[in-house]
């Protein structure tokens, strides 16, 4: 069941998303070789709580142990912060959620550390591009399948694998709501996109096979072939005459020292 949002609801979600975007920026400042991923999680939780928010992920379903999902290299999503120290050539996905005044916001960004090889950098560039191709199809009157088709048809040209088991989703008073928003699909198929919908679009794209495996911790998802994966996520609100991106990557891109998106591909 889709929970349609009022203009007032969307305004609160935007406020939540501003805290989220600035949380990402604080984390981005600390991403460098030698930093333990659990330190990034501590930075995020402190910032969220200092700004009167609640970390959406912590204790999610009674079991997720952290405020951030931190997924390094072949981890697609839902990685646990740990004593792992980042190193040159790594890629690290940071997924974060904030609950503020009763509404959640959710976004993700994959950072390459300096020294990452060009093949992996290409994966990140193309996954990022696919996010915006998907967003371009997220408009009133289209179908959810139009979004998935836009992502899938673009990235599969490069031989990448589109993860099937994990999808985008509605966001509101609950972190995960209807509709589900796959990163694959057929044009003109799926639920109709209607004004008042708010949902996250989040391509999860693998360098190699689309197949993934789940670790024994019940959360961590890795690529089956251990090749790198990339993950970018924005939330959008659907209006009758436009679509608005509610989350922002602006602050984190200003904060992160390695300006990778300026690199040619």
One-character DSSP codes across 26-51: HHHHH-STT-BHHHHHHHHHHHHHHT
Which pLDDT belongs to residue 262? 82
H or E, element range at 168: strand 168-170
pLDDT at 263: 72
In this prediction, residue 260 carries a pLDDT of: 94
147-168 mean pLDDT:
98
H/E element, 235? strand 234-238
Q: What is residue 222's predicted lDDT score, i.e. its pLDDT?
A: 98
Q: Please report where in the chains the tokens 């008073």 appear, as a residue.
A: 173
Give which of 234, 13, 222, 265 is closest to 109, Cα–Cα.
234
H/E run at residue 142: none
The average confidence (pLDDT) of the chain is 97
The mean pLDDT value for 232-249 works out to 98
Give mean pLDDT, residues 158-167. 98
From the number of C-beta atoms within 10 Å of its C-beta (0-12, 13-18, 19+), residue 192 rates as exposed
Mapped onto helix, strand or coil, the DSSP state of residue 248 is coil
Q: 200-237 in b/e burial notation, b at 16+ Cβ within 10 A?
A: bbbbbbbbbebebeeeeeebbbbbeeebbbbbbbbbbb
Long-range contacts of 36-40 (CB under 8 A, 24+ apart): 36/82, 36/83, 36/84, 36/85, 36/86, 37/70, 37/72, 37/79, 37/81, 37/82, 37/83, 37/84, 37/86, 37/92, 38/66, 38/81, 38/82, 38/83, 40/68, 40/70, 40/81, 40/94
Q: What is the mean pLDDT of residues 201-223?
A: 97
CA distances from 66 to 69, 104, 160, 236 (A): 7, 16, 30, 25
Q: Is 24 left (phi over 0), alpha (psi -120 to 50) or beta?
A: alpha
pLDDT value at position 43? Answer: 98
The Cα 176–Cα 255 span in angstroms is: 28
Band the pLDDT of 265: cuts 50, 70, 90. Answer: low
On whether the CB atoms of residues 256 and 111 are closer than 8 A, the answer is yes
Region 188-206: mean pLDDT is 98
Mean per-residue pLDDT for 22-42?
A: 98
Beta-bridged to residue 85, according to DSSP, are 36
What's this model's pTM, rounded to 2 decimal places?
0.97
What is the third-level CATH fold of 7-262?
A: Creatine Amidinohydrolase (3.90.230)
* Residue 113, pLDDT score: 98
Q: Over 70: is that where the pLDDT of 264 sits?
A: no
* Cis-peptide, bond into residue 179, ω within 30° of zero: yes
Average pLDDT over residues 181-201: 98
Among candidate residues 67, 42, 41, 40, the one with its CA nearest the CA of residue 54:
67
User: With left for phi above 0 and alpha for psi between -120 and 50, is residue 185 left, alpha or beta?
Assistant: left
Average pLDDT (186-206) is 98
Helix ranges, 32-171 (H): 37-50, 118-136, 144-155
């Amino acid at each position: 069941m889709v929970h349609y949002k009022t203009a007032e609801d969307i305004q609160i979600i935007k406020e939540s998303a501003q805290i989220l975007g600035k949380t990402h920026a604080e984390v981005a400042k600390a991403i460098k070789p030698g930093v333990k991923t659990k330190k990034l999680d501590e930075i995020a939780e402190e910032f969220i709580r200092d700004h009167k928010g609640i970390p959406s992920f912590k204790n999610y379903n009674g079991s997720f142990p952290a405020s951030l999902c931190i997924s390094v290299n072949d981890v697609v999503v839902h990685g646990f912060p740990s004593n792992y120290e980042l190193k040159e050539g790594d890629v690290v996905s940071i997924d974060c959620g904030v609950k503020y005044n009763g509404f959640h916001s959710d976004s993700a960004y994959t950072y390459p550390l300096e020294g990452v090889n060009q093949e992996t950098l290409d994966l990140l560039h193309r996954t990022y591009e696919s996010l915006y191709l998907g967003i371009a199809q997220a408009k009133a009157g289209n179908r959810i399948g139009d979004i998935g088709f836009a992502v899938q048809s673009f990235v599969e040209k490069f031989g990448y694998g589109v993860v099937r088991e994990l999808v985008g989703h509605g966001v509101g008073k609950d972190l995960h709501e209807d509709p589900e928003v796959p990163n694959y699909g057929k044009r003109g198929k799926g639920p109709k996109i209607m004004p008042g919908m708010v949902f996250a679009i989040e391509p999860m794209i693998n360098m190699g096979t689309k197949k993934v495996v789940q670790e024994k911790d019940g959360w961590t998802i890795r690529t089956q072939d251990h090749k790198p994966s990339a993950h970018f996520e924005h939330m959008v609100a659907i209006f009758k005459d436009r679509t608005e991106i509610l989350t922002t990557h602006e602050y984190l891109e200003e904060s992160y020292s390695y300006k990778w998106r300026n690199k040619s591909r």
